[in-house]
């Protein structure tokens, strides 16, 4: 009897998230089961043969309502998860089973990338962020597919711009942090970041960055610091510039 549990980075695992475990013997499907994180005790373990070594494969999209479909699941060499546009996670290990109870430690790894963007004012002028408009990161793909035998990824669809979502500004703030942005992309060095409608201390300009590096399975913090002097409209004023006054 093989028991089971899953682990994921604290704070990122959805409540009652589903994950699947497939068990392969000599490359052929032996068993499979869907578990709910935190409620594994309510799902039977696998009945396997002591003295044998099995390949265990885990997968999830960190959702309580859906789970990716494994295509050609009966053979490990051909099993794939295709065209995923959500937070795909994956695990695999080879483990020898002994007679009696066995524990399987499942650590699911994020396969795509994640960027959290923070916009802040600098220390030179300080001040506040008064407004922030639409934003996106360009250069990623529409979806990705996973090969269960080795965890390799392929990408399909078109190159796209992924929206970056910031909280609504109801009053001026010194900084603001976006929700995490999921990027489905191979390793690239030409991702772009565009930010419209940023207003700091009364100044407003669109922002465009190029040449950002993205690697699959990595989590990034993009921190942008802006210095803008405070301005005050004083109305019509007579200036006398003679003699340096």
Give tens-digit pLDDT for 68-116. Answer: 999 999 999 999 999 999 999 999 999 999 998 899 998 999 999 999 9
Contact criterion met (CB below 8 Å) for 187 and 216: yes
**Nearest 10 degrees: CA dihedral of 112, 180, 137, 152?**
0
Compute the mean pLDDT over every residue in the chain, rounded to the nearest whole number.
90
Give the tokens for residue 129.
Answer: 């962020």
pLDDT tens profile 202-225: 888 889 999 999 999 999 999 999
- The SS3 of residue 33 is strand
Spatial neighbors of 235 by CB under 8 A, at least 6 apart, are none
Strand stretches in 2-68, DSSP E:
2-7, 18-25, 28-36, 53-60
Q: Is the pLDDT of residue 183 over 80?
A: yes
Distance of CA 192 to the CA centre of its chain: 17
Of 200 and 15, the one with more pLDDT: 200
Closest CA to 25 of 94, 78, 88: 94
Split at pLDDT 50, 70, 90, the class of 234 is low
Spatial neighbors of 236 by CB under 8 A, at least 6 apart, are none
Split at pLDDT 50, 70, 90, the class of 168 is very high
Question: Residue 83 has what pLDDT?
Answer: 96
Question: Residue 10 has what pLDDT?
Answer: 58
Contact criterion met (CB below 8 Å) for 209 and 139: no
Question: Residue 9 has what pLDDT?
Answer: 60
Q: Is the pLDDT of residue 26 over 90?
A: yes
Alpha carbon distance 74, 244 (integer Å): 87
Length of the chain: 245
Of 241 and 74, the one with more pLDDT: 74
Q: Is the pLDDT of residue 165 over 60?
A: yes
pTM, two decimal places: 0.86
Contact criterion met (CB below 8 Å) for 46 and 75: no
């Amino acid at each position: 009897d093989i028991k089971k549990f899953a682990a994921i980075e604290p704070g990122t695992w959805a409540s009652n998230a589903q994950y699947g475990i497939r068990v392969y013997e000599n490359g052929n499907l032996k068993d499979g089961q869907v578990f709910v994180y935190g409620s594994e005790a309510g799902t039977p373990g696998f009945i396997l043969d002591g003295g044998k070594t099995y390949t265990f494969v885990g997968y999830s999209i960190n959702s309580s309502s859906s789970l990716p479909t494994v295509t050609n699941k009966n053979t490990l060499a051909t099993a794939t998860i295709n065209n995923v546009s959500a937070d795909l996670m994956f695990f695999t290990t080879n483990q020898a089973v002994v007679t009696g109870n066995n524990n399987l430690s499942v650590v699911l790894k994020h396969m795509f990338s994640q960027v959290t963007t923070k916009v802040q004012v600098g220390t030179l002028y300080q001040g506040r962020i008064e407004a922030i408009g639409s934003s996106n990161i360009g250069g990623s793909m529409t979806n990705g597919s996973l090969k269960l035998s080795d965890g390799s990824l392929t990408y399909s669809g078109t190159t796209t711009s992924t929206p970056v979502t910031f909280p609504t500004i109801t009053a001026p703030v010194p900084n603001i942090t976006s929700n995490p942005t999921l990027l489905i992309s191979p390793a690239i060095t030409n991702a772009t970041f565009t930010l419209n409608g940023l207003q700091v201390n009364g100044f407003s300009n669109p922002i465009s960055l190029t040449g950002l590096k993205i690697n699959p399975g990595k989590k990034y913090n993009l921190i942008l610091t802006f210095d803008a002097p405070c301005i005050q409209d004083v109305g019509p004023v007579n200036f006398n510039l003679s003699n340096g006054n």
